[in-house]
């Protein structure tokens, strides 16, 4: 007897429910885009989605708005991308790391030290390269609307501070479900352990992993600082979030409606970036107040540790993309 695939069954059930609800509901000529994400409502991404909805309502003269489902109500980021692909959900926000399973070029964001600075990152995202990456998902029915700021990712650990790559030896470090993230931690000497974000608090608490890596707001809002008392700001990767729309839904909109959605998304970017900056500063101060030691390591040691990883991409499309990024001034 074939074993029942509970994940597939759950996804099909969610798809049926959202098909009935309408990923792009229409009532009395009013269109409501169904949006979802895995974050809590205090996060800058949720607030930016609310802001986008308000702008969309204004631009459309009240004929379009949004309905947001936060807190992973509709499953993991992968679940939500698959719901977009079948047209059962309108819009979602995901990290670009799991996005690499659908768009291989996205793995460039999980390769450490590709970007020289935050300014360099945004010049890339807001230029031709960024636009090409937003459009790259259309072939798999995932249209890119915008990139959102997700800062830089750094290591945090329970009991052992990380001051240099050698300190990662023997430690189990949680990473996202991204082969590139796994390769990065292993290149630095750690044992990469992919675990969903929702399960990470318990995994840290029970010693399933010795640490993880993420940005300051996620470290703080997840309360991982309750357990992990060392935060090493090595800033190894800059992995932005991406706002995606179902190609099925997009193609049902008129050109004018598409323009309103695109403009509302564009207007939400600076708003989200400013919220992100504030939340990062607040998060770092909050974890310091909670007794976390912030470590500022020599980043060149970590950059040296991943040189072979960079070299391993030579001759691939990703390496050519890395070279194009390096040429952005």
Mean pLDDT by 10-residue block, N- to C-terminus, for the chain (329 residues)?
48 51 68 93 94 98 96 91 96 91 92 95 97 96 97 97 97 91 94 91 97 95 96 96 97 97 98 97 97 97 96 94 96
CATH number at residue 71: 3.40.190.170
H helical segments located in the chain: 6-21, 44-59, 77-85, 96-99, 118-125, 128-136, 179-187, 200-205, 216-221, 247-252, 255-289, 299-305, 307-311, 317-326
Residues 102 and 28 in one domain: yes
Q: And the tokens for 12? A: 């099909």
Terminal Cα distance for the chain, rounded: 59
pLDDT at 1: 40
Shared domain for 37 and 125, answered yes or no, is: yes
- In order, the DSSP letters of 99-125 are HTTT-GGGGGGGSTT-SSSHHHHHHHH
* One domain, residues 219 and 112: no
220 CB burial (10 A radius; 0-12, 13-18, 19+): buried
What pLDDT shows up at residue 14?
55
Q: Which domain holds residue 223?
A: 153-238+291-326
220 token code pair: 């703080």
Prediction pTM value: 0.86
Task: Specify the pLDDT at position 7.
Answer: 54
Let me know whether 207 and 322 are in one domain.
yes
174 with 97: CB under 8 angstroms?
no
Residues 6 or more apart in contact with residue 39 via CB below 8 angstroms: 45, 46, 70, 71, 93
**Whether residue 67 sits in one domain with residue 198:** no
The sign of the CA dihedral 53, 146, 91, 241 is negative
What is residue 3's predicted lDDT score, i.e. its pLDDT?
A: 45
pLDDT of residue 11: 53
């Amino acid at each position: 007897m074939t074993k029942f695939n509970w994940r597939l069954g759950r996804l099909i059930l969610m798809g049926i429910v959202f098909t009935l609800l309408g990923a792009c509901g229409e009532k009395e000529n009013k269109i409501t885009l169904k949006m979802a994400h895995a974050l809590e409502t205090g996060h800058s991404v949720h607030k930016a989605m609310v802001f986008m909805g308000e702008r969309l309502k204004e631009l459309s003269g009240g004929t379009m708005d949004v309905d947001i489902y936060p807190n992973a109500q509709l499953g993991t980021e992968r679940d939500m991308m698959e719901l977009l692909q079948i047209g059962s959900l309108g819009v979602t926000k995901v990290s670009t790391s799991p996005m690499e399973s659908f768009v291989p070029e996205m793995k460039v964001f999980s390769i450490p030290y590709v970007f020289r600075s935050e300014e360099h990152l945004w010049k890339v995202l807001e230029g031709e390269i960024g636009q090409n990456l937003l459009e790259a998902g259309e072939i798999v029915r995932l249209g890119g609307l915008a990139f959102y700021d997700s800062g830089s990712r750094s290591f945090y650990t329970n009991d052992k501070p990380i001051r240099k790559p050698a300190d990662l030896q023997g430690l189990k470090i949680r990473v996202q479900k991204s082969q590139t993230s796994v390769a990065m931690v292993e290149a630095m000497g750690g044992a990469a352990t992919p675990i969903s974000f929702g399960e990470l608090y318990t995994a840290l608490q029970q010693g399933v992993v010795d640490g993880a890596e993420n940005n300051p707001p996620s470290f703080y809002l997840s309360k991982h600082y309750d357990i992990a008392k060392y935060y090493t700001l090595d800033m190894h990767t800059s992995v932005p979030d991406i706002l995606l729309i179902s190609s099925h839904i997009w193609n049902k909109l008129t050109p004018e409606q598409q323009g309103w959605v695109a403009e509302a998304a564009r207007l939400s970017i600076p708003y989200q970036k400013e919220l992100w900056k504030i939340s990062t500063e607040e998060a770092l101060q909050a974890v310091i107040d909670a007794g976390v030691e912030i470590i500022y390591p020599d980043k060149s040691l970590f950059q040296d540790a991943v040189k072979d990883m960079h070299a391993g991409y030579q001759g691939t499309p990703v390496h050519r993309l890395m070279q194009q990024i390096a040429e952005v001034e």
